[in-house]
Amino acid sequence: MSIRNLAIGMVFLLHTITGVVGNSSLLYHYLFLYFTGYRLKPTDFIVNNLIVANFSVLFFSGFPNSMSSFGWYTVYSDIGCKLFHYFRAVGRGVSIGTTCLLSLFQAITISPTNSRWANLKHKAPKYIVPTIFLYWILQMLINVVYPLFLSSKLSNRNITNKKHLGHCSSVRHEDTRDLVYAALIASPDVVCFLLMLWASGSMLFILYRHKHRVQSIHRTCISSLSSPESRAIKTILLLVSTFLFCNALSSIFHIFLAILKNPNWFIVNTSSLISLSFPTVSPFLILGRNSNVSRFSFTWERNAKFCHFRRNM
């Protein structure tokens, strides 16, 4: 086993263990709330679906890559190549779609009562489960190309026209066909990126406008209200920037894998490593965001009571 493979194996293993710990902590957080009588909100169900998608990426990408880097190449048999890549791709796609759905739902929830999205506030929760279910089916159908065309390099099958993807290989097609596959796989990601940018921009605009409106009405409460609103804006910016950075890079490398004739060791392993980034980081960001939202709501209510008290003095 070379030093290079040992190093990349350790990176994969550390990344995967960190992601499993983070998602398990987030799952424990919601289980604790559920068993203590807390009524879960619709956004909590979306986050639980995100946890399932994250686990799919971590278990079907992180651990197999770690094992193969340490010399256990047999994990990537024909069945292993098909199943690992398929469920990793499905989990990654659902993770991106679920994060997008979470942003859209939050944007609708905090929209003003006089906005055009006000009618969706009460209807949106009942569409969450069907939307998630349909998106799982969509990702399963789109990524069916993996079990159809992937095979193990250890296989005895004689396929002359193929390109190598690490320990697996796929049937090499014409350039036009590869471009079609790349566009098909990347199109849901692009749509989710655009929707999340719109939703996050809407939330920032609503919070910014509310902040200035409150400042003009309650001059005595400016300092106390600006701090939680600023924290909420920073949290949204952090989530959006992390999401876009990790998944935009991941999508770029997936396109490279689709269009390149024979991707080298660096592109194959970097693509797998970047795919683990958001499932690893997102639970920690959500845990921090939940904490910020709780403090924001508490401070908001406390300041509102304080302002009401001052006006009645």
| Range of weakest confidence among 33-42, 216-225, 257-266, 280-289 | 216-225
* Residue 218 binned pLDDT confidence (cut-offs 50, 70, 90): low
Check whether 304 has a pLDDT greater than 80. Answer: no
Indicate yes or no: pTM above 0.85. no
In the predicted structure, residue 150 carries a pLDDT above the cut 60: yes
Domain boundaries, the chain: 3-311
The reported pLDDT for the residue numbered 77 is 82
Does 228 score more than 70 pLDDT?
no
The pLDDT-based confidence of 295 (bands split at 50, 70, 90) is very low
pLDDT in tens, 37-51: 888 788 888 889 999
The yes-or-no verdict on residue 70 having pLDDT over 90 is: no
**Is the Cα torsion angle 61, 31, 192, 233 positive or negative in sign?**
negative
Mean per-residue pLDDT, 21-27: 92
pLDDT at res. 161: 64
| Residue 224 clears pLDDT 50, i.e. is over it | no
**Percent of the chain, pLDDT > 90?**
15
| Residue of 57 and 254 predicted with greater confidence | 57
Which tens digits make up the pLDDT trace of 155-178?
655 555 677 777 787 776 666 776
| Mean pLDDT, the chain, whole residue set | 77
Higher-pLDDT residue of 182, 308: 182
Q: Given this model, what pLDDT does residue 50 score?
A: 92
Give the closest residue to 284 by CA, choosing from 230, 245, 239.
239
Gap between the Cα atoms of 13 and 208, Å rounded: 42
pLDDT band at residue 287 using 50, 70 and 90 as cut-offs: confident
For the chain, the DSSP string reads: --HHHHHHHHHHHHHHHHHHHHHHHHHHHHHHHHHTT----HHHHHHHHHHHHHHHHIIIIIHHHHHHHTT-GGGSSHHHHHHHHHHHHHHHHHHHHHHHHHHHHHHHHTS-TTSTTTTHHHHHHHHHHHHHHHHHHHHHHHTTHHHHHEEETT-----SSEEEETTEEEE---HHHHHHHHHHHHHHHHHHHHHHHHHHHHHHHHHHHHHHHHHHH-GGGHHHHHHHHHHHHHHHHHHHHHHHHHHHHHHHHHHHHHH-SS--HHHHHHHHHHHHHHHHHHHHHHHHHHHHHHHHHHHHHHHHHHHHHHHT-
307 has a pLDDT exceeding 70: no
Mean pLDDT of 213-229: 51
Q: Which two tokens stand for residue 242?
A: 């992390």
For the segment 216-224, the average pLDDT, to the nearest whole number, is 49
| Residue linked to tokens 């651990």 | 63
CATH architecture of 3-311: Up-down Bundle (1.20)
Give residue-wise pLDDT tens across range 102-135. 888 888 887 777 667 767 777 888 888 899 999 9
